[in-house]
Structure 1
Amino acid sequence: MERIGRASHAGSWYTDNPKDLAEELDGWLVEAGLPKSSDVRGVIALHAGYSYSGLYKTPIGDLPIDLEVIEELKATGKFESMNLRVDEAEHSMEMHLPYLAKVFEGHPLKVIPILVGALSAESEAMYGKLLAKYIDDAQNFFSVSSDFCHWGSRFNYKHYDKKYETGDADAFKEYLSEYDNTICGRHPISVFLHMLRNRTTRIKIKFLRYEQSSQCKTTRDSSVSYASAAAKVDA
């Protein structure tokens, strides 16, 4: 029996009306002012509100799973299958799926979902090396999900420093070690940076935009920071 992952956050974190969602996505993509380019191999983007087989449902179309690549990854012995209940409760990737469905509308698109847990630095490097060959293939696109700093007393994090932007896996790890920043997707970001380090294609990360859920005036206030970045082939 085919297993289908529901869009469990549609209707709450984002509209479940297909027409409204398509119009909103079109508007946000235009507002972002990003040029369409086949040289972009991946993005790091937020997962705020707005299984290994079958489909992922979205209000604007269903996305099939690439079983061939998933079997290839499972054959390495480094991956485990995620059950459907856990998958549907995990909203990080779900928030990206409607964007992917919209951006790649009219093109064949298959999804390989990878949930990254609390990995050691050694495991991050290992997975980065293992996945690097896929980013060298221009047919593949990586969508890395992460909010950035969760700041304020309720998050137990109140550090402030204007210096922030690297592109190097070791520098990113040193930054996290020194400042303990509450970046929820720090492990998948680290894996992605290690992928870029081990690839044949020369790729550079550029941060595109930074926003905050609210402005903090005292440490009693709280805010979540959102940043977006693109990994583009560096000619």
Structure 2
Amino acid sequence: MEKIRRPSHAGSWYTDNPKKLEEELEGWLSATGLTKSTDVRGVIAPHAGYSYSGRAAAYAFGNIDPTNIKRIFLLGPSHHYYTPKCALSTATVYKTPIGDLPIDLEVIEELKATGKFELMDLQVDEAEHSMEMHLPYLVKIFEGHPVKVVPILVGALHTDNEAMYGRLLAKYVDDPTNFFSVSSDFCHWGSRFHYTHYDKKCGPIHKSIEALDKMGMDIIETGNADAFKQYLSEYDNTICGRHPISVFLHMSSNSSTKIKIKFLRYEQSSQCKTMRDSSVSYASAAAKVDA
């Protein structure tokens, strides 16, 4: 029986008008001037409302050549629902205003059989925006190419569990028909986020935030999950997709296929100049097969 996850954030976080949505996505994608590459096997992309992060996200999704991809693993952080594990979707299809993505029920069953995952009910699934914000881009990029999705909600994982899920999912990296869409915003800065780290040596606040984010991005590019963990414990940067990113780093270090992550775009929702300001950072990366 079909079980639909509705595009619950359409009409608020992004337009629910199909024509307008298509135009926006096409505009952002063509503005990047990127060339599609079959070597791109994954992306790290933001998940804020499109008016904030839509343009930055295009620098991740614009690299994807859909030709050989059959399956997309979606890894998104959990914002509203607490779980110390990863959770699988119970839906059979993810709808968007511009097309639908069927869930790969076979892989969901395979993952379920490991006993390591919990299931999220439809209510939890629809309340979460981290994976939904990737869907319209994926529908657009994979237009005319039949793909299925494997949505994985990544909970508040302990370090050992990040490594465990990384090892468990690593075999999927070795299948060149699999793709990975990792969802994360970067620094959430300001008193409303309870995070006001400021290194005055960097100049204005927004430059300090940028330096902090770039430090994290550089470490992610090395592929070293332990170094990323060390950075997070030292600076406590409010990267909301820290767990999905860590799992992805463990996946690539445990697979035979060598993956190289490269960041291509960095933006901030606004430039913080005083301690009363706030901003969220957005960074987009492509993960390529490293020949």
Shared topology, TM-score over 0.5?
yes
Residue 58 of structure 1: which of 96, 109, 122 is its match?
Answer: 96
Out of 214, 236, 240, the residue aligned to residue 180 of structure 1 is 236
1:15 Cα deviation (Å)?
0.9
Alpha-carbon distance in 2 for matches of 1:12, 1:156: 25
Q: How many positions carry a matched residue from both structures?
A: 235
Cα shift readout 1:184-218 (whole Å, capped 9, x = no counterpart): 11111100011111111111000010000000011
Residue 93 in structure 1 maps to residue 146 in structure 2: no
Where do 1:207-222 residues align within 5 Å? 207-222=263-278
The residue correspondences of 1:144-159 to structure 2 (distance < 5 A) are 144-159=182-197
1:196 aligns with 2:252: yes
Aligned match of 1:29? 29
Letter in 2 for 1:232: K
For residues 144 and 110 of structure 1, what CA distance do their matches in structure 2 show?
16
Give, as a single letter, the amino acid of the residue that structure 2 aligns with 1:226: Y
Does residue 119 of structure 2 align to residue 81 of structure 1? yes
| % identical aligned pairs | 80
Deviation of residue 153 (structure 1)?
2.0
Partner of 2:287: 231
Q: Distance in 1 between matches of 2:265 and 2:27?
A: 16
Question: CA offsets per residue over residues 122-161 of structure 1, 9 Å max, x none?
Answer: 0000000110111121111111111100012222212245
> Does the 8 A contact of 1:14 with 1:49 survive in 2?
yes
Q: Which residue of 1 aligns with 2:146?
A: 108
Structure 1 residue identity aligned to 2:249: L
Superposed CA deviations along residues 39-72 of structure 1, whole A, max 9, x for unmatched, are 1111111110023232110011111010001100
Would you say the 8 A contact 2:91–2:122 is kept in 1? no
Q: Which runs of 4+ in 1 moved over 6 A?
A: none
Q: Distance in 2 between matches of 1:139 and 1:71?
A: 19
Contact 1:43–1:143 (Cα < 8 Å) also in 2: yes
CA contact under 8 A between 1:211 and 1:225: conserved in structure 2? yes
After TM superposition, give the deviation of residue 33 of structure 1 in Å.
2.4
Q: Could you tell me how far 1:7 is from its partner in structure 2?
A: 0.2
| C-alpha deviation, 1:32, in angstroms | 2.1
| Worse-matched range after superposition: 94-103 or 32-41 | 32-41
What residue ranges of structure 2 are gaps of 5+ in the alignment? Answer: 51-88, 199-207
CA contact (8 A) 1:6 1:56 kept: yes
The one-letter code of the counterpart of 2:6 is R
Aligned Cα RMSD in Å?
1.1
TM-score of the pair, normalised by structure 2: 0.79
Normalising by structure 1, report the TM-score.
Answer: 0.97
Q: Residue 44 of structure 1 contacts residue 146 of structure 1 at CA under 8 Å; is this kept in 2? A: yes
Which residue of the other structure, out of 215, 226, 245, is the alignment partner of 1:170? 226
Aligned to 2:85: none
> Which structure dedicates a bigger proportion of its chain to strand?
2
Q: Which amino acid aligns with 1:52?
A: T
Deviations 1:63-88 (A, max 9, x none): 10100011000111111111001100
Checking the alignment, whether the CA contact within 8 Å between 2:189 and 2:195 is kept in structure 1 is yes
Q: State the Cα distance separating 1:30 from its structure 2 match.
A: 1.2
Identify which range, 189-198 or 44-53, moves more after superposition.
44-53
Task: Give the Cα–Cα distance (whole angstroms) in 2 for the partners of residues 37 and 150 of structure 1.
Answer: 31
